[in-house]
Amino acid sequence: MSEEAAGEVVAGVPVAGVPAAGVPGVGAPGVGGSSRRDPRGERYKWVALTNTTLGVLLATIDSSIMLIAMPDIFRGVHLDPLAPGNSFYLLWMILGFLIVSSVLVVSLGRLGDLFGRVKMYNLGFVVYTAASLVLTLDPLDGRSGAMWLIVGRIAQGVGAAFLIANSAAILTDAFPTNQRGLALGINNIAGISGSFIGLILGGILGPIDWRLVFLVSVPFGIAGTVWAYTKLEDRGIRARAPIDWLGNLTFAAGLIVLMIGITYGIEPAGGHDMGWSSPKVLAELASGVALLTAFVVIETRVRNPMFRLRLFAIRAFSFGTLSTFLSAIGRGGLMFMLIIWLQGIWLPEHGFSFTATPLWAGIYMLPLTAGFLLAGPASGILSDRFGSRPFATGGMIGAAVTFLLLLTLPVDFSYWEFGLLLLLNGLSMGAFAAPNRAGVMNSLPADQRGAGGGMNATFQSSAQVLSIGIFFTLMILGLSTALSSDLTRGLTAHGVPAAVASRVGHLPPVSVLFAAFLGYNPIKSLVGARALGSLGAADRATLTGHSFFPSLIAGPFHSGLVEAFGFAAAACLVAAIASWSRGQRYVDEGILTPTRPPGGVPAGGPDPARAAGGASEAAGPNGQVPAGGVASGAARSARFSPPG
């Protein structure tokens, strides 16, 4: 049964779809996002979908393309990332892009609300493409060359943030409500899949020439820029207002400092395996929390806040965003754990050289990407018809089950079982992502879609950084119980001098994880050429062979894996509860006004009865709202359907 047939009512708009007087913009194509046919033609919405999907795909591919290509990039700039003092470059090449794109999406989404979403989106393509070209042309070597790449990656992250912050709002403006699930589903799944496609591209291009890892984005970026500037139209509502500089600064500074603290928390400090107890990390975490608390206070007091916190009174938005955050925590660290599992243990034990493991790790993870691509569009289409709640909730339950099933696999698993569980996890995550994104965006007033979509994207991106910190911490805790003694004993048994074996055995576990993650032969990297050269040929071949290191860390690694995947399963189950708590379907078609209209809602806040998911509306005969006004008296409208 269609939404209209089910008795769904848009406040101020009769079911027949004729705009009521007195509610400007409601039901207007491209403004409120009504389900009426767009009189300017159906073609534009597909142009918007294909261009924004290209933009988001490029941005998310670059979030992960360096992970597999990292060894080739470091060799290209002639820098050993495992040498003392070089871990800074390793961490910031990985996380700099993620941190910047996480921090800026809310601010840039709000700028889209103020000055035009397409204008901000197009600017993002320019910045992203220029930064990709700058990265390709890195003329320096050593630490200077690595710093050039870090700065370029940060600039690339700024461009990606422009694209991600405004793409969902552009699609919500372009598509009618009964097709937003499909559109946002395709866009969102392309973004999530991009992070896995990036692994394979990095593994293919890095060995050919490390500069291709960045150059590959340039022609697509140029094409996307020209296409966006010539074809995209700004169909959204602009809410002109002063920029909330204080809110922007406290939010950005707080999130950056907090993420830096999380990043350095997994590094050894003060003689400990991790730095969570170091004064520097504690100060960074405390400062980040203090600045974000100040941001919340500021946003409740300024007239034109960067983000209207009262949007969290909208039940569908608040619980949908919470679900986004928890699902990203469960998914974010998964990629790193699977890479280490495959590169550090499984692939070497099955005859792959350590230098070949990065590419093959990406290939063996393809079932996960396939699951996303299959489930995303299908669940988006179904959620347009039946609502977001059952699909998003079921997806999170399915993801939790697959994490628990992964725990039952031995470290040396049979690939068909592993691949099947990856496929099921991808299907589950895909079934969640598209309906959840559509439910969140549908709940936002038209003039707040940029900031609201940006806030949702910020929760997703920042959760990935937090997830990396959590997963690595749990993994290090599991490794630290037995790795040191096992490594020392195994090295001395094969003739390594006791002093060298003791030094390697007492290295922080994160050093071993980074070596495996980079696809280096860990023993060769950690023991050193001089010590290995003093050994007999048989012992040297055993230590640097395919099986010594994997068999050594398999037991401690599995202990850490149990902790990490158990946490991911718990996060997904809580996300399922949050998703179900979003209540009945809620679609906002109107504007969140900055001032209080006569008899209306307070400035910046939705009608609590509707926002909380209540079904009552003051309607006329046959469920229609009288022409000339909105049932609640506010200059905005909302659409409801039965629960689900």
Q: In terms of pTM, does the model score above 0.95?
A: no
Q: Calculate the dihedral angle through the C-alpha atoms of 256, 65, 206, 337, rounding to the nearest 10 degrees.
A: 90
- Domain assignment present for 643: no
| Alpha carbon distance 511, 6 (integer Å) | 59
Both 88 and 171 in a single domain? yes
- Domain assignment present for 636: no
Instruction: State the pLDDT at residue 627.
Output: 32
Q: Calculate the dihedral angle through the C-alpha atoms of 117, 120, 121, 125, rounding to the nearest 10 degrees.
A: 170
Q: What are the CA-CA distances from residue 207 to residues 71, 75, 159, 356, 463 (Å)?
A: 9, 10, 27, 9, 31
pLDDT cut 90: percent of the chain above it: 25
Question: Beta partners for 639?
Answer: 10, 587
Both 351 and 398 in a single domain? yes
CB of 474 closer than 8 Å to CB of 274 = no
- Domain assignment present for 601: no
Both 457 and 441 in a single domain? yes
Both 160 and 211 in a single domain? yes
| Alpha carbon distance 508, 228 (integer Å) | 48
Average the pLDDT over 522-533 and give the result: 79
Q: What is the extent of the structural domain holding 272?
A: 244-305
CB of 142 closer than 8 Å to CB of 79 = yes
CB of 557 closer than 8 Å to CB of 344 = yes
- Domain assignment present for 3: no
| Alpha carbon distance 315, 281 (integer Å) | 35
- Domain assignment present for 589: no
Query: Does residue 129 surpass a pLDDT of 70?
Result: yes
Q: Which residue has the tokens 């400035």?
A: 603
Both 86 and 209 in a single domain? yes
- Domain-ending residue, one of 286, 305, 324: 305
- List pLDDT tens digits, range 235-257: 766 666 777 888 888 988 998 89
Both 353 and 213 in a single domain? yes
Query: Does residue 626 surpass a pLDDT of 50?
Result: no
**What region, left, alpha or beta, does residue 17 occupy, with left being phi > 0 and alpha being psi -120 to 50 degrees?**
left
- List pLDDT tens digits, range 2-15: 333 333 333 333 33
- Domain assignment present for 614: no
* Residue with more model confidence, 302 or 513: 302
Both 513 and 420 in a single domain? no
49-58, 305-314, 515-524: lowest mean pLDDT where? 515-524
Query: Does residue 132 surpass a pLDDT of 90?
Result: yes
Both 92 and 138 in a single domain? yes
- Domain assignment present for 260: yes
Nearest to 469 by CA among 230, 255, 185, 276: 276
Both 187 and 123 in a single domain? yes
The string of DSSP codes covering 332-362 is: HTHHHHHHHHIIIIIHHHTT--TTTHHHHHH
48-52, 225-229, 480-484, 629-633: lowest mean pLDDT where? 629-633
Both 469 and 426 in a single domain? yes
Cα angle 336, 338, 341; round to 5: 110
Mean pLDDT of all residues belonging to the chain? 79
Which amino acid, 428? S
Query: Does residue 31 surpass a pLDDT of 50?
Result: no
- Domain assignment present for 21: no
Which amino acid, 473? T
E strand or H helix at 383: helix 366-386
SS (H, E, C) 477-522: HHHHCCHHHHHHHHHHHCCCCHHHHHHHHCCCHHHHHHHHHCCCCH
Average the pLDDT over 147-165 and give the result: 92
| Alpha carbon distance 260, 250 (integer Å) | 15
Q: 113 Cβ partners below 8 Å, 6+ apart?
A: 169, 236, 238, 239, 447, 448, 449, 450, 451
User: Structurally, how many domains does the chain consist of?
Assistant: 3
CB of 414 closer than 8 Å to CB of 466 = no
Q: Which residue has the tokens 């140029």?
A: 222
Q: How confident is the model at residue 164 (pLDDT cuts 50, 70, 90)?
A: confident
| Alpha carbon distance 109, 120 (integer Å) | 8
Both 266 and 366 in a single domain? no
Residue burial 440-461, b: 16+ Cβ < 10 Å; e: rest: bbbbbbbbbbbbbbbbbbbbbb
E strand or H helix at 638: strand 638-640
**Long-range contact set of residues 253-256: C-beta below 8 Å, sequence gap at least 24:** 253/291, 254/287, 254/288, 254/289, 254/290, 254/291, 254/292, 254/294, 254/295, 255/99, 255/102, 255/103, 255/288, 255/292, 255/458, 255/462, 256/99, 256/103, 256/288
- Domain-ending residue, one of 505, 538, 555: 555
- Domain-ending residue, one of 288, 305, 322: 305
- List pLDDT tens digits, range 427-466: 999 899 888 888 888 888 877 777 787 788 788 878 877 8
| Alpha carbon distance 162, 100 (integer Å) | 11
Both 296 and 183 in a single domain? no
Question: Beta partners for 587?
Answer: 639
